[in-house]
Structures are given as structure tokens and as C-alpha cells.
Amino acid sequence: MAFDVIMPQMGESIAEATILKWHRKVGEAIGKDETLYEISTDKVDAEIPAPLAGTLLEILVSENQTVPVGSVVARLGDANEKPVGAPPAAKAEETSAAPVSAAAPHAPVLDHDNSLEGRLAAKSSPLVRKMAETHGVDLQTVKGSGQHGRVTKSDLEAHLAQTPIKSLPQAEVPPAPTLPPASPAVPAPVPGERVRMEPMSRMRKIISDNMVASRRTSAHVYTVWEFDLTHVARLRRRNQKAFQEAYGVKLSFMPFVMAATAKALRAFPVVNAAVEGDHIAYKLDINLGVAVSLDWGLIVPVVRQADQLNLGDLARALNDLAERSRTKQLKPDEITGGTFTITNPGVFGDTFGLPIISQPQVAILGMGAIKKRPVVVTDEEGNDSIAIRETMFSGLSFDHRIIDGAVADQFMALIKKELETSDFGLA
């Protein structure tokens, strides 16, 4: 007996998903909970397991095709059942606008109302409609790339990237310079030039749109500080073995930075805030996003209520989220709701970076490489000497709409003090 495989709901605000890859071909067997296919949404990429063991009888949605949540994407059967037919072609340019197979029932319409509001609701997710309302965008003016013209988050962000900002007071703020379109035309190759062209992945497109939108939204300003991590390095060396036995993970520098940052965010709540129109939304929870580099892009899982966790809990939470990021096991709720982000390009040897703020946050901390450097050290009697210290340059990007330079520097000064003097609950 055939069993319908349904596109799952991966989050409250997610109404559609794109199938990236099928892990089984029609006619092949699969066990329960083995990966059947991969999907991509506006928030997360994920591997979807088979709901039961059996044989893949039919594939109804091609790779690179976007369909609404609730659509039937495939059918499974018993081991002795034979496939219904061959799978559809997997060429992205042919399937991106192709309808779901006729054998698959149509996904339920989100809203049966024939009013303007009802029609817009049927062609956009709650997240997209909220974003459109926030930015004052008429969704009728946005061209949708989803199935049946559905407006996706990427469609709206691309529209915003090409639309002049209207909310700034013109009497006080000069007009912003016109930015190039989000997707400029590809220049013709120079004669004799050797070029290999390939389309952006869905994740790369989302990152691209988000970064352009952030630069248009926030008034980016930067401050760079040097932190002496010699004290932290000693704590790590002294406690590494006992820490790993107690918590099951190695003690890296990142949990120290997270703990110090969480304390500074509690002391300076405006850095943990967001801008909503003419209001400042002070977030009562401190949810730290930590950027994780993947082979196919970048993702920022969130450690919730980080200020309530000790060093060991921070390390375990970070390790767990990073591992599941790389295996595509994160849930949508685990990459949303961040109030502040930390990124660590220093792991690749970077001296320091000036990262772009992750909207709707108002600041982001970049960690540089930790290196031994000669530093002038002054003792209690005022005598100077040169010593070898383990230091790190750290850059804070902040939104000058609500964070002044003095506040940003006080925030960084507190992080510096914590990293250079606190015992972080260790012996």
C-alpha cells in the first residue's frame, strides 16, 4: 500500500521549501529514519528522514523545485511493490517553475478569502507579510519566484535592495547613495578569458540578499580593541583535563568570549536591542548567535539565555549546535531569535574583521586570531617592560542609529576586563 511523503512544516513561519537533493532513486529501498531527501527553506537547510521503511515508488517533486508545506513530494511502498514510473527530470532551469506532478494532490490554499488580503495571504508566508508591513511594501508590487507566483522571503529582500529607503527624515538626513541592483547583469567574458560560471546556491542567495539589506538598514560604525588573553590561556591549560571530564567537550576560547559578552550585554541592554520603527525594542533574553562556517555557506545557530549558563554549559551548547549545523540536523527555531552575534574569522588566521550586522540585531562582534605578541607591560610601580602575551584584536560593528560610540567602547571595555581578570568559575 502506497504511503504519501509530505513536505514537513519546518517552522511556524515557513510556508514552502525547496528540494535540494533526493538520496534515493525510484525503486530503491530505504530504512526508517534514513535520509530520504534534503530541503532548503528561508531559515535552514535540513535532511528529511523516511517516515517508514520500504521502497521509493514515486518522486513527485524534482530537485530544485519549490513547493508549499503539506505537498505530497513522493510515495513509499512495501518492499515488494513496484515503482509507478520514472522520476522527473532534475534540471533546475526546467523545474524551478514546473508544477507538482498531477498525481500529487494540491496543497491546501492558505486563505480561501477572495479579498485582496486573502489573495496576498495565499501567495506569501506570515513571515513575508510581516516583513512587508514593517518596510511598508505593497506585496502586489513584488514579483514572486515561488510556485504559482508565491512571494518568498528572498523575493522581498531583493525587492527591498532595489527600492529607495523612504523612512529616513529628509530634512535631517541626506539621501542615501543609490546601490546597484541585487543581481546585476553578468558582464560578457573578455575575449580569450577563461571563465567557469555556476549559479549561486540557495543559501548563498539568501546570505547575499541579507547582507545587502543589512547595509541598507543599519548605520554601520566600527571599533577595534586588543584583548590580552594570556589570563584565559592559563585558565584553559590549567583546567582543560578536568573540564573535559566534567562536561565531555574540550575547552576552547569561544566560551570565555561568550560569557564575557553575555555579561556586557546585560550591563548595556541597548547593544542587545533592535530598532522597530521609531522605538527601541530592548530584548529581555540574551540569545547569542555564533557563526559556523560550512562547506556550502554560513549558518548562525543560537545559544539561548547565554547569560544564565556557566562556562561548561556554554561549551556544550556551542559544540552541540556546531556539530548539528555541519550534519544539517538543526531545527528552524535553533537559528532564529538571536539578539547578538559573535563571528570568529580568527580561526582562519584573520587579524580582525569588521562584520556586517545580522538584522534585526544592532551589533556583531568579530574575533581575530589569537597570537603571541610583544606587549609593553607596566607593573604596579610604573615600570615598563616588554613581555610576550597572547592577544586578540576584536572588532565590534554597531548600529549608530541607537548605539553611540561611547556606549560601544564601554561595552568593549567590560568584555576586555572580564577576559583579562575574571576566573569564570574555574579554579
339: nearest Cα among 307, 314, 367, 298? 307
Residues 6+ apart with CB under 8 A from 287: 302, 303, 304, 305, 306, 337, 338, 339, 340
Partners of 19 in beta bridges: 39
Q: Are strands 292-294 and 220-228 parallel, antiparallel or unpaired?
A: unpaired
Region class of 407: left (phi > 0), else alpha (psi between -120 and 50), else beta: alpha
Q: What is the dihedral of CA 12, 17, 19, 20, to 10 degrees?
A: -90
CB atoms under 10 Å from CB of 182, counted, come to: 17
C-alpha cell at 261: 559578552
CB atoms under 10 Å from CB of 220, counted, come to: 16
**Calpha distance 47→330 (Å, rounded):** 9
CA 183 vs. chain centroid, Å, equals 21
Question: What is the set of active-site residues?
Answer: 400, 404
230: nearest Cα among 424, 380, 376, 419? 419
Q: String of b and e for 229-248 (b: at least 16 CB within 10 Å)? A: bbbbbebbeebeeebeeebe
Using CA of residue 33, residue 36, residue 38, residue 42, what is the dihedral sign? negative
